[in-house]
């Protein structure tokens, strides 16, 4: 993972409070992105296609479930893989809390739910170029970040706002900073750059502006591409039809449901 999915899932927009920032402009960005979420929930099909440096490809398909919290802030996100058979049932769960995020992953070959700790955030998600941290940042770009600069800058031919963020040392992030270009009209991030410690640009994520669509009051994007500049690989993420404000039970977003494949 766009309600959640469309900006994932960047979708899926990047919507956590700028708790570490005392900047009115940053607050405006956060309000805009939160306003672009569905009122209650969303469900969307997702397809990952990973290409290695030799040109070989691997495809994974599944669904992204997102539900807004009762307090209008603490959302829950579930990515559930349905194919191919060897990874069917693999799941990724993110639960937003007051000052933290709980992240869990279930892989059928291990037969148990594993909590993702800060030192494991750089691990690959289902064998794609997305790490656990990358997927987290699609939804939580601003979570506990220091906003170091905000300015207007055109991106993909559209008026955008460039936001540069610095993860706190205690977060366990593998990045020194993250830059995001947020579309002025839709609040969808059009591009993100991930800079490793030491200053090297290691990953680039972009969306195709042509895939931006409006569903009611919500803008969603359907096409994403993440390039790993070090490994010379890339993963395209395509999002299918979106269902908005459907009933999603709380038990769906639980460790037990992960292990049961629900």
Q: Judge whether 42 and 33 are in contact, CB under 8 Å.
A: no
DSSP 8-state assignment for residue 209: G
* Token reading at 158: 């559209």
What CA–CA distance (Å, rounded) separates 239 from 221? 8
**Mean pLDDT over residues 126-140, rounded?**
82
**Mean pLDDT over residues 36-64, rounded?**
93
* Token reading at 11: 């979708």
pLDDT in tens, 195-254: 999 999 999 999 989 999 998 888 888 899 999 999 999 999 999 888 999 999 999 999
Q: What pLDDT score was predicted for residue 163?
A: 87
Report which of 12, 1, 17, 5 is spatially closest to residue 187, judged by C-alpha positions: 12
pLDDT in tens, 134-180: 887 776 555 555 666 678 999 999 999 898 888 887 777 889 999 98
What CA–CA distance (Å, rounded) separates 106 from 110? 8
Statement: the pTM of the whole predicted model exceeds 0.85: no
What CA–CA distance (Å, rounded) separates 195 from 144? 17
Q: What pLDDT score was predicted for residue 14?
A: 41
Q: What pLDDT score was predicted for residue 235?
A: 97
pLDDT in tens, 1-33: 443 343 433 433 343 433 444 455 566 666 777
Residue 93: which domain range? 5-260
Q: What pLDDT score was predicted for residue 9?
A: 37
What CA–CA distance (Å, rounded) separates 141 from 121? 15
Give the CATH number, domain containing residue 59.
2.50.20.10
Q: What pLDDT score was predicted for residue 8?
A: 38
Q: What pLDDT score was predicted for residue 128?
A: 94
Q: What pLDDT score was predicted for residue 24?
A: 59
Structure-model confidence comparison of residues 181 and 260, the more confident one: 181
Please provide the distance, in angstroms rounded to a whole number, between the alpha carbons at the two ends of the chain.
17
Domain tally, the chain: 1
């Amino acid at each position: 993972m766009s309600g959640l999915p469309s900006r994932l899932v960047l979708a899926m927009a990047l919507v956590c409070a700028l708790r570490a920032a005392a900047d009115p402009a940053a607050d405006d960005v956060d309000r805009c992105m939160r306003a672009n979420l569905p009122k209650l929930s969303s469900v969307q099909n997702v397809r990952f296609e990973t290409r290695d440096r030799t040109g070989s490809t691997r495809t994974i398909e599944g669904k992204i479930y997102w539900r807004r919290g009762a307090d209008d802030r603490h959302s829950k996100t579930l990515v559930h893989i349905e194919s191919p058979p060897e990874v069917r049932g693999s799941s990724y769960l993110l639960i937003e809390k007051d000052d933290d995020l709980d992240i869990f992953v279930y892989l059928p070959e291990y037969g148990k739910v594993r909590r993702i700790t800060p030192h494991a955030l750089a691990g690959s998600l289902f064998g794609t170029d997305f790490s656990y941290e990358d997927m987290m940042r699609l939804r939580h770009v601003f979570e506990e970040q220091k906003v170091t600069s905000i300015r207007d800058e055109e991106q993909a031919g559209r008026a955008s706002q460039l936001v540069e963020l610095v993860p706190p040392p205690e977060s366990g992030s593998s990045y020194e900073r993250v830059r995001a270009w947020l579309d002025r009209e839709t609040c969808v991030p059009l591009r993100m750059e991930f800079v490793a410690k030491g200053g090297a640009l290691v990953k680039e994520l972009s969306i195709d502006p042509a895939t931006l669509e409006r569903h009611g009051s919500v803008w969603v994007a359907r096409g994403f591409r993440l390039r790993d500049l070090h490994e010379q690989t890339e993963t395209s993420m395509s999002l299918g039809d979106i269902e908005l404000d459907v009933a999603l039970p709380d038990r769906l977003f639980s460790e037990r449901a992960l292990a049961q494949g629900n």
